[in-house]
Chains A and B, each alone.
Chain A
Amino acid sequence: MTMTNYCDAMADVFRTAFAEDPNFTIMGNEVFGIGPQRHQFEPLQAEFADRIYYPPISEASYTALAAGAAMCGHRMFLHIGVASFAYPALSSIANEIATAYFSSGGRIKVPMVIHLNHGIVMGTGSQHSESPQPIFWNTPGLELVVPSCAYDAKGLMRTAIKSDNPTVIFTHGLLYGTEDEVPDEDYEIPFGVAAIKRGGADVTLVATSLTVSVALEAAEKLAADGIDVEVIDPRTLVPLDKESILSSVAKTGRLVIADEARLSCGVASEISAIVAEEGFKHLRAPIVRAARPDAPVSAAPEHEAAVKPTPDKIMDAVYKVLN
């Protein structure tokens, strides 16, 4: 175990994949973002130059290109970059990638990973602050992965690359620089297994991606107030570990979901609906969602703070569910 940041955890996964599979290819620009961690990609670039492709600014076509290559046995790791850049590629993802295995009657697999940077990251405004997880959750055929820390990133990305299904990984732009205890050796985290980040008896608090750390911060403050919050990170949305959430709710009787995706038809809404449908008998209070409001994101700092999940907002949600 060494303290490793998110990008070095990703780099470990890439090195192993390059070594294991001659057909493993990375395609994309600024795989480790445009912050200081971008330099951590340089050694990989030097070592695997012939297997790392910088595509033109053509998201729709290089995404479909990766799919066509995957149909022929290539293992593609596609970094589209800022999540909203996937919108020009949405036809390639939703029409081609997500449906090929199904429409071919199970005869054509599309083993590829699409990596997106989601979230509100400081002044980038409406077109560079998206968290489009719900759009892809409503696109069956895709596995959806939302790592919240370097440890999970390493284990989940390895599983994603080995998966025969198309997988979308959402990395929050502010997670790249975060550090964590990460084993040096390779490991896989199975999809559909939530992490109980903090045990608690009073309220179940589900959060994903960067919001997990925000939720933990809120939980610490609430603990000082005598409120015992259980924080659950599903780690993958598809497949979703419903059982862990439902069994926690069975224990606490109260559910808050905090997420950076929007409220309507969002991550919080779907989890809320599942628990309302399958865990209603356990609920002692209405479910509370602390999600991004249904609006584009402003570039102004105060506006950003107003729409993203903060410890205060999550604490308010917990107080609400307790009353």
Chain B
Amino acid sequence: MCGDWDTRRKLAVLERMMIIRRFEERLVHLFEAGEFMAHYHLYIGQEATGAAVMEALLPGDKLATTHRNHGHVLARGADPGAALAEILCRETGLNGGYGGTLHLSDPDLGFLATSSIVGGCISLATGAGFALRNGGGDQVSVAFFGDGSLEEGISYESLNLAALWSLPVVYICENNNEGAVGSIGGGFPAAMSSVKDLTKIPDTFGIPVETVDGRDVDAVFGAASRAVAHCRAGNGPAFVQAVTERWEGSKPLWPELPMGDTDMTMIWDDTNYGSRNEDWYRNQDPIFLYARQLLAEGTVSQADISALDAETAGLIEAASQWAIDSPQPPAETALNHVFVPEMEG
């Protein structure tokens, strides 16, 4: 996709980020209400990366994501109701309730099976790149993964394979480790690597790499576009590191909403930031940053943002209600899909 960003496209990206935010805030409430039980992982704070990378892709491209997948699947355009229903393990979910939060995938949008084994998506996306290159087209495969994936051996093997065979794979490393407290601090495990500059890893394999601010839509889009163009031109893999602060609610082992549901009027009204969260509101929240940018350049008004917010709230409310009302798959289907039925094969 070219770099021409009209108002419509900017609004679409802002809307996508808001959908992810409201979707995940709702998810926390649904978990607290007992609508699903699984350990889950939120994308809050990283929405700009997913939304911007998708703008650099085309239909026909393949994607692989991780346990932290909700944002990627929604950013690519999945139906929020079907995605939510999957996380709630409902029959109407994207994967019939068999995958849940850890294996959410929308194959119609190009997603491979979602692996929640750290590093798995890197290897699978590399395989998709192999198939795409052999297919003779110019499609690319994209792997979204966290910095922790670079602690797994399979990631290094996969980078080697992609470089060796010149595969069109865009590796998007979402380094959300800034400010993470880690297991020792009683929170979610944080990255443990002796490599302090992760770009040295792809660089070792001769894979071009850029580091960008993962909160900055334009910066991520620019780097992703260059990486995608490199792959489409048949030059082999490319690597982007998108750095974000670990959002406060993702520091504990189980997600929380320490600031409650996001109040979108705080984009322009800074009277209630409070000292503890001031940095988040001013410098970290990617939705706030992008909305302020669009306000400053006159693309949108505060009223536009409020209207978009209300619209998004309505969408998520409807999706949520539909998902809650959907039935769970019955016990007698527990063994379906172990093998492809013969008539299909």
Contact = CB atoms under 8 A, between A and B. Distances in A.
Contacts of A140: 338
Contacts of B191: none
B239 interface: no
Interface size class of B (residues with CB under 8 A): 35 or more
Interface size class of A (residues with CB under 8 A): 35 or more
A11 interface: no
B113 A104 contact: yes
A276 to B, nearest CB: 23
Interface string B118-134: 00100111111111101
B300 interface: no
Interface string A63-99: 0111111111110000000000000000110011001
A74 B131 contact: yes
Nearest to B169: A68
Given A72-B62, A96-B113, A101-B339, A91 B127 contact: no
B17 to A, nearest CB: 26
Given A64-B120, A91-B117, A141-B339, A104 B127 contact: no
A43 interface: no
10 contacts: A23-B131, A61-B154, A61-B158, A68-B130, A68-B141, A72-B135, A103-B99, A103-B105, A106-B98, A108-B112
Given A67-B127, A104-B114, 12 more contacts: A56-B164, A58-B157, A64-B120, A101-B337, A101-B338, A101-B339, A102-B338, A103-B113, A104-B107, A106-B96, A106-B336, A110-B113
Given A74-B134, A96-B115, A103-B113, A68 B161 contact: no
A163 B158 contact: no
Nearest to B139: A72
Contact of B160 (A56, A64, A101): A56
Nearest to B99: A103
Which one of B117, B131, B153 has the greatest number of beta carbons of chain A within 10 Å? B131
Contacts of A103: 95, 98-99, 103, 105, 113-114
A265 B97 CA distance: 31
A164 B120 CA distance: 21
A105 B128 contact: no
A62 interface: yes
Interface in A25-69: 25, 53, 55-56, 58, 60-62, 64-69
B161 A61 contact: yes
A64 B124 contact: yes
Which one of A62, A104, A107 has the greatest number of beta carbons of chain B within 10 Å? A104
Given A61-B161, A74-B131, A68 B64 contact: yes
Contacts of B114: 103-104
A164 B164 contact: no
A161 B153 CA distance: 30
B119 to A, nearest CB: 9
Contact of A102 (B141, B157, B337, B345): B337
B107 A58 contact: no
Nearest to A112: B127
A143 to B, nearest CB: 7
B161 A58 contact: yes
B157 A61 contact: yes
Contact of A73 (B98, B117, B131): B131
A64 B158 contact: yes
B93 interface: yes
